[in-house]
Structure 1
Amino acid sequence: MSTPPAAPTRSALIVHAHPEPDSFSSAQAAAVAEQLRSRDVQVHQIDLYAEGWDPVLAREHFMDGPGYFKPQAEQMQAVVTGTLDDPVAAHLRQVQQADLLVLSFPLWWFSMPAIMKGWVDRVFVMGATFGGEHGIFERGGLRGKKAIVVLTTGGAQPAFAPAAPGGYGDIDAFLFHIHRGMLEFVGYDVLPPVITYGPTRLDGAERAAALAHVQAHIANLLGD
């Protein structure tokens, strides 16, 4: 079955995970927000570190006493009964209302920071984003919406090329579990990632040029 085209981007949710507000990663997230607003996109932002987000999907979020804890079953039940608690319920509403989800983070250990993974664990709720009346992939609860990863790396770009001698490995391979296993899994149309390689090696002028490139990339991707 073919997937219907994603709707034009009128609203975006940027979920950002970096502990330093003055980092390039944080500046990059701000540049993305600025570019989206310049295109009349309504932007909402969640800064996980600033909010002190609890990344642990725990029994205590659903159960008061002992018993077998099956997280996804508890999520499903909370959706059915309308008992999903904030801040998860509030974040889920923002996800469902946004045409575009932006996940902004530095590449740590070839993946996303734990706080971001914990956000996905808790907010991509079974029964709301997949499962229940929804399926997965093209039948996921967030089908018809777009998602994009915006990240920074510690290493330079050549080190992430496929089969680069002495390199880290193919950047697309590191992002597969995010693109396919998280975003596409719940129905998103995933856009090509925005990546700034090795920003700590950039001087002031190069940093400004990199941020401008990020904005141009976003404008090009969202030419809807």
Structure 2
Amino acid sequence: MTTRDAPRTALIVHAHPEPLSFATAQMREAERALASRGVEVTVVDLHEAGWDPVLSRARFPAASGHFKPQAEQMAAVRDGLVEPAVARQLDALLAADLLVLSFPLWWFSVPAILKGWLDRVLVMGAVFGGDHGLFDEAALAGRRAVLLMTTGGSPESFGAGSRFGDLEALLFPLHHGTLRFVGYDVLEPVVTHGPARLDDSARDTALREVHAAFDSIAARRVLQLTT
């Protein structure tokens, strides 16, 4: 897939505990926009699924001695022992042309349940490392990823020189150190600022903007993350 192609398949991974939240509403709007374009969309609602975010020794029954999670992941891939819950998520990830991570910005980062999905599903040996390289040599190279998120602050509070810091800089570890690292072309994020302070009309406008962003996702700007 090139950056000019429309995605055929998409995986939306959603991380908000409230089904009636604005974050959930905009996730559903993104799903509708993609589906209306003929995209086959899979949604994983991590709270609804009861996802356990902890990457622990207990995940790897064959582990012995000093526990090194990535080494155990590689061994599980090699031996065909990736745990079923992770294998299902990994299959969905590898089948998707587009990955959408949907979440509220908590403590200038992703919620723990989503961080744990990344920890457990971006399996070393399956998406990077082992037979795969990093960045453009990783297993997900040529695919796209985008963040769909809400913030508590206004757009001005996340501008350059603002008290919260520049949003692009805050997102760099996720954009570059996670998504780009495993091969994705990372698209400009879709952000609704301060939905809790918006009236109904402004929320409707924000949802229409989300719909438009995903309706035209094939044309969305790819971030240039390094020089």
Taking structure 1 as reference, are residues 65 and 147 closer, same or farther at Cα in structure 2, changes over 3 Å only? Answer: closer
Give the Cα separation in 2 of the matches to 1:59 and 1:41: 38
Q: How far off its partner does 1:15 sit?
A: 0.1
Q: How much is the aligned-residue C-alpha RMSD, in angstroms?
A: 1.4
Letter aligned with residue 192 of structure 1: E
The counterpart of 2:144, out of the listed 146, 153, 156, is 146
Tell me which amino acid in the other structure corresponds to 1:191.
Answer: L
Q: What displacement does 1:205 show?
A: 1.2
Correspondent of 1:16 among 6, 14, 17 = 14
Kindly provide the amino acid, as one letter, of the partner of residue 196 in structure 1. T
Aligned to 2:167: 171
Structure 2 gap segments, 5+ residues each: 221-227
Q: In 2, Cα distance between the equivalents of 1:99 and 1:138?
A: 15
1:204 aligns with 2:200: yes
Query: Is the counterpart of residue 184 in structure 1 residue 180 in structure 2?
Result: yes
Q: 1:42 to 1:65 in 2, by over 3 A?
A: closer
1:45-81: CA deviations, max 9, x gaps? 0000111111010101113575211100110111111
CA deviations on 1:123-162 (whole Å, 9 max, x unpaired) are: 0000011001100011111011110000000001100000
Q: How does 1:1-224 map to 2 (within 5 A)?
A: 5-6=2-3, 8-63=6-61, 66-164=64-162, 167-223=163-219
Deviation at 1:117, TM superposition (A): 0.4
Give 2:225's aligned residue. Answer: none
- Amino acid of the structure 2 residue aligned with 1:115: I
Normalised to the residue count of structure 1, the TM-score between the two structures is: 0.94
**SS state of the match for residue 181, structure 2?**
helix
Following TM superposition, the consecutive aligned residue runs of length 4 or more in structure 1 with deviations greater than 3 angstroms are none
Residues of 2 paired with 1:113 and 1:70: CA distance? Answer: 24
Normalised to the residue count of structure 2, the TM-score between the two structures is 0.93
| Cα distance in 2 for residues equivalent to 1:65 and 1:95 | 25
CA distance in 2: counterparts of 1:12 and 1:39, whole angstroms: 11
Asked if structure 1 preserves the Cα contact closer than 8 Å seen for 2:46 and 2:113, the reply is yes
The residue matched to 1:111 in structure 2 has which SS? coil
Q: Size of the alignment, in residue pairs?
A: 219
Distance 1:198 1:24 in 2: 10
Q: Using the alignment, how far apart are the partners of 1:100 and 1:151 within structure 2? A: 16
Structure 2 Cα separation of the partners of residues 67 and 212 of structure 1:
54
Distance of 2:166 and 2:49 partners within structure 1:
33
Task: Determine helix, strand or coil for the equivalent of 1:177.
Answer: helix
Identity of aligned residues (%): 52
